[in-house]
Amino acid sequence: MNCIHISKNLFVLIVLTLFCSVKTNAQKMEQNVAAWVGYEMYLPFKEDGRWGLLLEGYSKGNQFVSELQGSFYRVGANYYLKNGNRLGAGVAYQWDLPYDEVSLLYNNPDYRIYEQFIWRIVRKEGNEVWSQRFRMEQRRLGRKDDPNSTSDHFDYYKFENTFRYQVRYQLWFKQRWAAVIYDEVHIRTNAASGNENYLDQNRLYLGTAYSLDKRREIRMELGYMNQIFFKSPDTESGLSRMNHTIRITLTTDLPFKRK
């Protein structure tokens, strides 16, 4: 797949996001201002090696940092193909807290197993990077029969299989500065229950990255993410919400060992 096709995919996703945003804004929905602070690390065991680690974590705040939305952690293994593409798999855990009027009334866990493939195209001596990420997540969501229960016990775990597709563009317009834009859609592949949608959420992101080293292996990224939930499973009555989120992320591709 060439860059023109990826550009079309990104354009279509952005148009769909804007259309859905206008549609959901016309309905009653909860809106929040949030901040996510975390890290996303792809760590090859050795330079130009085949195997590596993925470590990811976020602290999620509502009303910027005055309230807590929850926390998220992911750990996995990556296999680097010779053409620069990546295969990966691992586990993830999310702890959700009630932070708005449509949230579940209790804290709840989200256990995940995931598999992913990242397709990368690098152009202009590394200054332009297109990528597509295909990710499947098998999720087990802790639920209570009585939403007002104060017990730490969960009566059952709801299973969801989610497909996530992200298309991302990154342009280094200066030696250490880059512009980043991506769109990611989440789709339930198993039957949605009750009044939930197959379309779970969409994330549209625009930001900038600053490299802390000349190799561009360690970067700080700051940006805005528009996150729309379409009758999400973590809302009490399957309502929709929109989070206006500031993201601050430390990202790296630093290998454990040089040649």
Cβ proximity of 258 and 47 under 8 Å: yes
| Tens digits of pLDDT across the chain (259 residues) | 555 565 666 656 555 555 554 454 445 678 999 999 999 999 999 999 999 999 999 999 998 878 999 999 999 999 999 988 999 999 999 999 999 888 888 999 999 999 999 999 999 888 999 999 999 999 999 999 998 888 889 999 999 999 999 999 999 999 999 999 999 999 988 765 666 778 888 999 999 999 999 999 999 999 999 999 876 555 555 568 899 999 999 999 999 998 7
Residue 226 near residue 242 (C-beta atoms within 8 A) = yes
CATH of 3-252, one of 2.60.40.10, 3.30.70.270, 1.10.472.10, 2.40.160.40: 2.40.160.40
The confidence score (pLDDT) of residue 22 equals 45
Q: Kindly give the pairing relationship between strand 67-80 and strand 51-62.
A: antiparallel
State the CB neighbour count (10 A cutoff) for residue 223.
18
Residues 141, 117 contacting (CB under 8 angstroms)? no
**What whole-number distance in Å separates Cα of residue 243 and Cα of residue 246?**
10
pLDDT reported for residue 70: 95
State the amino acid at position 42 in one-letter form. Y
Residue 24: the pLDDT is 44
CB 137 within 8 A of CB 114: yes
What value does the CA radius of gyration of the chain take, rounded to a whole number of Å?
19
pLDDT reported for residue 89? 98
pLDDT at residue number 211: 97
Domain-by-domain residue ranges, the chain? 3-252
- In this prediction, residue 9 carries a pLDDT of 63
| pTM assigned to the model | 0.87
Written as one string, the DSSP assignment of 135-147 is EEEEEEEEE-SST
Rounded to whole angstroms, the Cα distance separating 146 from 130 reads 46
Secondary structure percentages of the chain, helix, strand, coil, to 5 = 10, 60, 30
